[in-house]
Amino acid sequence: MTKSGQKIAGPRLRTDLERATPTVDEIDDEDRLLDLALDDVDLRDLEAEHLELSGCRLTRCDLGGSELEKAILVDLVLDHCDLANARWSDASATRVQVTSSRLTGFAGPGLSLQHTTVRDSVLDFSSFRFAKFVKAEFTDCRLQSADFVSADLSGTVFRHCDLTGAEFSQVKANGAVFVDCTWDGTRGIASLGGATIANSSPIDALAVTLAMAAALGITLGDPDDFA
């Protein structure tokens, strides 16, 4: 249970996962990888449609540059993995946990996330246009210049995240919660109607105020200038 009141279900994995070391050439469209433990597996530039990953734990795996269209991800753990510049369009993810991973430049247009947590990961320049988040939480993540244009963030929690230069134009944010996040240069903040922003740092609170004022065309002045 998060402090926002939502309960996020974690991945349901078997205790006796079968160890596997598949190669890019061995994975085809519509393949199903079920109940597997993949450690230090190189899957860079993997291309597949309708690939299913279910009940799997991936540790230190390289999926950089991969293109997975309409992938099905269920009960999946990604730990210390590299997804830099991967493109997973229209993928569906349920009960997924991502920790200490690199997702720089990751693109997930139309991605659907349910019961998903992303922790201690780098997502600079990532793109989630038209994505839908249901019971999702980002904690201690760097999301500099991330693109959430037209995403549905309703109820999503961002905790201790760096949102410097992030783009939130045309998002749905009813019930979204942002706790102690960094807001320097954040764009589209006027679209966060219905969200809750809580900052313990006066500097971060001021950054939110400045971003909101800029979005509304309001100029913040010094009273001494009008004495």
Taking the complete model, does pTM exceed 0.75, yes or no? yes
Domain that holds residue 72: 30-115
Quick check: helix, strand or coil at residue 60? coil
The domain boundary residue, chosen from 115, 131, 153: 115
Burial class (CB in 10 A: 0-12, 13-18, 19+), 90: middle
Say yes or no: 155 and 214 in one domain.
Answer: yes
Per-residue pLDDT, 227? 67
Q: What's the rounded Cα separation, in Å, for the pair 86 and 192?
A: 27
Rounded to the nearest angstrom, the gap between the alpha carbon of residue 169 and the centroid of all alpha carbons in its chain is 16
Residue 15: inside a domain: no
Express each pLDDT in 70-103 by its tens digit.
Answer: 999 999 999 999 999 999 999 999 999 999 999 9
Residue 227: inside a domain: no
The domain boundary residue, chosen from 96, 115, 134: 115
Residue 169: inside a domain: yes
The domain boundary residue, chosen from 77, 96, 115: 115
Strand partners, 79: 59, 99
Express each pLDDT in 130-176 by its tens digit.
Answer: 999 999 999 999 999 999 999 999 989 999 999 999 999 999 999 99
Residue 10: inside a domain: no
Per-residue pLDDT, 160? 96
Instruction: With a cut of 60, say whether residue 178 has pLDDT above it.
Output: yes
Say yes or no: 34 and 110 in one domain.
Answer: yes
Q: What's the rounded Cα separation, in Å, for the pair 37 and 54?
A: 11
Say yes or no: 85 and 148 in one domain.
Answer: no
**Count of the separate structural domains present in the chain:** 2
* Inter-residue contact 194 to 176 (CB < 8 Å): yes
Residue 205: inside a domain: yes
